[in-house]
Chains A and B, each alone.
Chain A
Amino acid sequence: METLTHNIQAIPLNHYILLSSIIFSIGVIGVLIRRNAIVIFMSVELMLNSVNLLLAAFSVYRGDATGQVFVFFIMALAAAEVAVGLAIIVMIYRNTNSIDINVLNRLKW
Chain B
Amino acid sequence: MSTFYFIAFLSIFFSILVITAKNPVHSILYLILTFFTFTIHYVLLNAQFLAIVNFIVYMGAILVLFLYTLMLINLNKESEPRKSNVVKIAGFVGGGCFLLTIIAAVKAFNISQPVVLNDPNLGLVKNLGKILFNEYLLPFEVSSVLLLSAMVGAVLLATKDPKTT
Give the B-binding residues of A (Cβ under 8 A).
Answer: 2, 5-19, 21-30, 32-36, 38-39, 41-43, 45-46, 49, 52-53, 56-57, 59-61, 63, 65-66, 68-69, 71-73, 75-84, 86-91, 93-94, 98-100, 102
Measured in the bound complex, the distance between the Cα atoms of B41 and A65 in whole Å is 17
Measured in the bound complex, the distance between the Cα atoms of B160 and A63 in whole Å is 50
Smallest CB–CB gap between A94 and chain B, Å?
Answer: 8
CB-based nearest A residue for B4? A11
Contact of B123 with A46 in the complex, beta carbons under 8 Å:
no
Interface bits B59-92 vs A (CB < 8 Å: 1, else 0): 0011001100110110100011111000110111
Interface size on B, residues (CB 8 A): 88
Give the A-binding residues of B (Cβ under 8 A).
Answer: 1, 3-5, 8, 11-12, 15-16, 18-19, 24, 27-28, 31, 34-35, 38, 41-42, 44-47, 49-50, 53-54, 57-58, 61-62, 65-66, 69-70, 72-73, 75, 79-83, 87-88, 90-92, 94-96, 98-99, 102-103, 106, 111-120, 122-123, 127-128, 131-132, 135-136, 139, 143, 146-147, 149-151, 153-155, 157-158, 160
The list of the 7 closest CB pairs from A to B, nearest first, reads A32-B91, A30-B19, A80-B150, A29-B95, A87-B157, A12-B112, A25-B99
Measured in the bound complex, the distance between the Cα atoms of B75 and A89 in whole Å is 13
Measured in the bound complex, the distance between the Cα atoms of B46 and A68 in whole Å is 11
From known contacts A73-B139, A75-B53, A76-B143, infer whether A10 and B18 are also in contact, taking CB-CB under 8 Å. Answer: no
Interface contacts (Cβ under 8 Å), in number, total: 247
Measured in the bound complex, the distance between the Cα atoms of B124 and A41 in whole Å is 31
Residues from chain B with Cβ under 8 Å of A21 in the complex: 99, 102-103, 106
Contact of B69 with A38 in the complex, beta carbons under 8 Å:
yes
Contact of B41 with A6 in the complex, beta carbons under 8 Å:
no
Contact of A29 with B119 in the complex, beta carbons under 8 Å:
no
Contact of A34 with B128 in the complex, beta carbons under 8 Å:
no
Measured in the bound complex, the distance between the Cα atoms of B74 and A94 in whole Å is 12
Residues from chain A with Cβ under 8 Å of B92 in the complex: 29, 33
Contact of A9 with B117 in the complex, beta carbons under 8 Å:
yes
Contact of A65 with B50 in the complex, beta carbons under 8 Å:
no
Measured in the bound complex, the distance between the Cα atoms of B116 and A22 in whole Å is 23
Smallest CB–CB gap between A19 and chain B, Å?
Answer: 5
Residues from chain B with Cβ under 8 Å of A65 in the complex: 122-123, 127-128, 131
Other-chain residue from A5, A22, A75, A83 in contact with B154 (beta carbon distance below 8 A):
A83
Measured in the bound complex, the distance between the Cα atoms of B38 and A53 in whole Å is 7
CB-based nearest B residue for A29? B95
Contact of B99 with A59 in the complex, beta carbons under 8 Å:
no
Contact of B95 with A26 in the complex, beta carbons under 8 Å:
yes
